[in-house]
Amino acid sequence: MKRLLIIFAFGTIAALAAGLWITRPLSVDVAQVASLSGSAEDGEWVFHLGACASCHATPGGDKTVLAGGREFTTGFGTFVAPNISSSRDHGIGTWSQADFFNALRQGTSLNGTHYFPAFPYASYARMSDTDIANLWAYMATLPASDRPSEPHRLTFPFNLRATVGVWKALYLRTAFVGPGGDTERGRYLVEAIGHCGECHTPRTVLGGLQNNRWMAGAPDPSGKGKVPGITPAQLDWSEADIAYYLETGFTPDFDSAGGGMVAVIEGTSLLAPEDRAAIAAYVKALPPAQ
Partner 1 sequence: MKLFLVLTLSAIVATATSVVAGGHEGNPAVKARQAHMNLYQHNLNILGNMARGNVDYDAAAAQAAADNLVALTTLSQAGYWVPGTTNAELGDETRLLPAVFEADSKARQIGGELVEAVAALAAVAGTGSEAVGSALGPVGASCTACHRAYRVSNN
Residues engaged in binding partner 1 (CB under 8 A): 220, 222, 224-228, 240, 244, 248-251, 253-263, 265
Residue 267 sits at φ, ψ, to 5 deg, of -80, -50
Between 189 and 227, CB nearer to partner 1: 227
**Side chain identity at residue 26, one-letter code:** L
Min. distance of Cβ 41 from partner 1 in angstroms?
24
Q: How far apart are CA 116 and CA 209, in angstroms?
A: 14
CB atoms within 10 A of CB 122: 20
Residue with Cβ nearer partner 1 (72 or 244): 244
* CB nearer partner 1, residue 129 or residue 266: 266
Beta bridge partners of 114: 108
Beta strands in the chain (DSSP E): 71-74, 77-80, 153-154, 218-219, 226-227
Nearer residue to partner 1 within complex by CB, 171 or 244: 244
Torsion of CA 189, 190, 191, 193, to 10 degrees: 50
Please report, for residues 102, 110, 197, 247, 276, the alpha-carbon distance to residue 265 in angstroms, rounded to integers and kept in the order given.
28, 31, 15, 7, 11
Supply the minimum distance, in Å, between the C-beta of residue 61 and partner 1. Answer: 14
Cβ 70 to partner 1 shortest distance, Å? 14
Judge whether 28 and 96 are in contact, CB under 8 Å.
no
Closer CB to partner 1, 16 or 262, in the complex: 262
User: CB 179: neighbour CB atoms within 10 A?
Assistant: 16
Q: Which is nearer to partner 1, 207 or 228 (CB)?
A: 228
Give the DSSP H or E segment for 230: none
Name which of 255 and 274 has its Cβ closer to partner 1. Answer: 255
Residue placing its CB nearer to partner 1 in the complex, 93 or 228: 228
Rounded to 5 degrees, what angle do the CA atoms 127, 287, 195 make?
25
User: Under 8 Å CB-to-CB from 95, ≥6 apart: which residues?
Assistant: 110
The partner residues of 71 in beta bridges, in order of sequence, read 80
Helix 261-268, helix 239-248: angle, nearest 10:
100
| Minimum CB distance to partner 1, residue 143 (Å) | 24
Q: Output the smallest distance, CB 26 to partner 1, in A.
A: 35
Give the nearest distance from C-beta 113 to partner 1 in angstroms: 33
Q: How far is the CB of 251 from partner 1 (least distance, A)?
A: 7
For the bound state, the minimum distance from the C-beta of residue 196 to partner 1, rounded and expressed in Å, comes to 13
